[in-house]
Amino acid sequence: MAEMMYREALNRALFEEMRKDPLVFVLGENIGERGGSYKVTEGLIKEFGAERVIDTPLAEATFTGAAVGAALAGTRPVVDILFVDFTTVPMDAIVNQAAKYEFMSGGQGQVPMVLRTQGGAGNSLAAQHSQSLEALFYHIPGLKLVMPSSPYDAYGLLVSAIRDDQPTIFIEHKLLYMTKGEVPEEEYVVPLGEADVKKEGSDVTLLTYSYMTLKCLEAAELLEKEGISVEVVDLRTLKPLDEETILASARKTGRVIIVHEACKRGGIGGDIAAMIMEEAYDDLDGPVMRVCGLDTPIPYNLELEKVCIPTTEDIVEAIIKIT
């Protein structure tokens, strides 16, 4: 096992898949010589050249639409959109074209495209660069949605997403790029649609994903000292959703809290809570709770920003309340 940063794991996945398959190429803003704003594409242009590492204009609708067309023509594009906030620009290409084409063509055509982007708060980047918009894509049939929390998962899930024949939205949290973790030196995949129990527990289940997984593990460690056993389930893939693992953990502990940074109103947590109540109501010892971001745009001021997203203390308070 080698220790590497989250961004390095993503970079390695891109290198390996581009070496393996000449149909894989990347395109986006400043991803060539600059290596991307978060250095995920660093070094690619030196090995693969400008034909497979394409620096685009500041025109998300144009280059995302081009990627959809390229995927339909048989290639495997990996689109890099700097902020998830900017995915609202090419929504027609994503929602009306990429997500629908296989269905509307009767299975005759596929769109094997990955759209990599990053979201979340934490760097004082204000309201238009700090959103958590995964629920927009969660709602759309035909799209897969991945949000890894660790370098291990980032590598394995990106490999799976690139090899998948359906369009996949791959969202990376801006505060995860510099985090470190162990990654096997040999090639591996993490299958889409499989959650991961990051920590076993018996008293309460925390269902979470992306950066909030780290906060949930911190909360679980704190409460372990108080005699409360917390299970932390990292969903990893939101579509397809691993309902089997979710329900097994809910039935095991009888208490469930869903934690995500995105706003509570219309968030993914509400859908998961409803699913648990429909499928495992008799196994619960109380209602499913949610710890989520506030229903407000993210402010520029760093101290105000911290108030808008869940903290470790918020999660601990919710666990104590439910137990």
The reply to whether 157 and 259 lie within a common domain is no
Sheet holding 168-173, edge to edge: 53-55, 24-28, 76-81, 114-119, 168-173, 144-146, 237-239
User: Is the domain of 21 the same as that of 166?
Assistant: yes
The answer to whether residue 191 sits within a structural domain is no
Known catalytic membership, residue 129:
yes
Sign of CA dihedral 125, 294, 171, 62: negative
The answer to whether the beta carbons of residues 129 and 93 sit under 8 Å apart is no
17 and 77 part of one domain: yes
CA-to-CA separations, 166 to 205, 283, 291, in angstroms, rounded: 31, 35, 31
Distance CA(129)–CA(38), nearest Å, equals 14
Write the pLDDT tens digit of every residue in 186-223: 999 999 999 999 999 999 999 999 999 999 999 999 99
Read off the pLDDT of each residue in 150-168 and give the average, rounded to a whole number.
98
Residues 250 and 119 in one domain: no
Q: What is the predicted pLDDT for the residue at 213?
A: 98
Query: Taking the model in full, what pTM does it have?
Result: 0.97
Average pLDDT, integer, range 22-51: 97
Angle between helices 6-20 and 151-163 (to 10 degrees): 30
Residues 32 and 158 occupy one common structural domain: yes
Distance, in Å, from the CA atom of 103 to the CA atom of 140, rounded to the nearest integer, reads 13
CATH number at residue 154: 3.40.50.970
pLDDT value of residue 317: 98
Looking at 136, 152, 183, the residue that finishes a domain is 183
Q: Residues 8, 17, 29, 129: which is the catalytic one?
A: 129
Q: Which domain holds residue 251?
A: 196-322
Confidence tier at 158 by pLDDT (50, 70, 90): very high
Site of tokens 């917390």: 230
Instruction: Please check whether residue 200 lies inside any domain of the structure.
Output: yes
Percent of the chain with pLDDT over 70: 100
Query: Which pLDDT score, from 0 to 100, does residue 242 have?
Result: 98
Total domains in the chain come to: 2
Same domain, 175 and 200: no
Q: Which of 183, 216, 251 is the last residue of a domain?
A: 183
Q: How far is CA 132 from CA 29, 88, 128, 294, in A?
A: 21, 12, 11, 11
Under DSSP, the state recorded for 191 is -
Asked if the structure places residue 287 within a domain, the reply is yes
- Segment 226-249 mean pLDDT: 98
pLDDT value at residue 187: 97
Helix spans in 164-233 (H): 212-224
pLDDT of residue 16: 98
CATH number at residue 277: 3.40.50.920
The set of residues, in sequence order, having a beta carbon less than 8 Å from that of 92 and lying 6+ positions away, is 61, 65
The burial class, CB within 10 Å (0-12 / 13-18 / 19+), for 86 is middle
- Give residue 173's pLDDT: 98
In angstroms, the first-to-last Cα distance of the chain is 38
Q: What percent of the chain has pLDDT over 90?
A: 99
Is 27 within the bounds of a domain? yes
Per-residue pLDDT tens for 113-147?
999 999 999 889 999 999 999 999 999 999 999 99
Please check whether residue 190 lies inside any domain of the structure.
Answer: no
Q: Which residue has the tokens 């509570």?
A: 264
Answer yes or no: do 234 and 173 share one domain. no
Task: Encode pLDDT of 284-314 as tens digits.
Answer: 999 999 999 999 999 999 999 999 999 999 9
Residues 143 and 9 in one domain: yes
151 and 213 in a common domain: no
Query: How much is the pLDDT for 201?
Result: 98
Q: What is the mean pLDDT of residues 244-258?
A: 98
201 & 178 share domain: no
Residue that finishes a domain, picked among 160, 183, 206: 183
Tell me, rounded to whole angstroms, the distance of Cα 181 from its chain centroid. 17
Mean pLDDT of 143-160: 98
Please indicate, yes or no, if residue 31 is contained in any of the structural domains: yes
Residue 188 lies inside a defined structural domain of this protein: no
Asked if 187 is an active-site residue, the reply is: no
Does residue 278 lie in a domain region?
A: yes
- CA-nearest of 227, 233, 228, 225 to 206 is 233
Question: One of 17, 29, 42, 60 is an active-site residue; which one?
Answer: 60
Same domain, yes or no: 159 and 275: no
Do both 173 and 33 map to the same domain?
Answer: yes
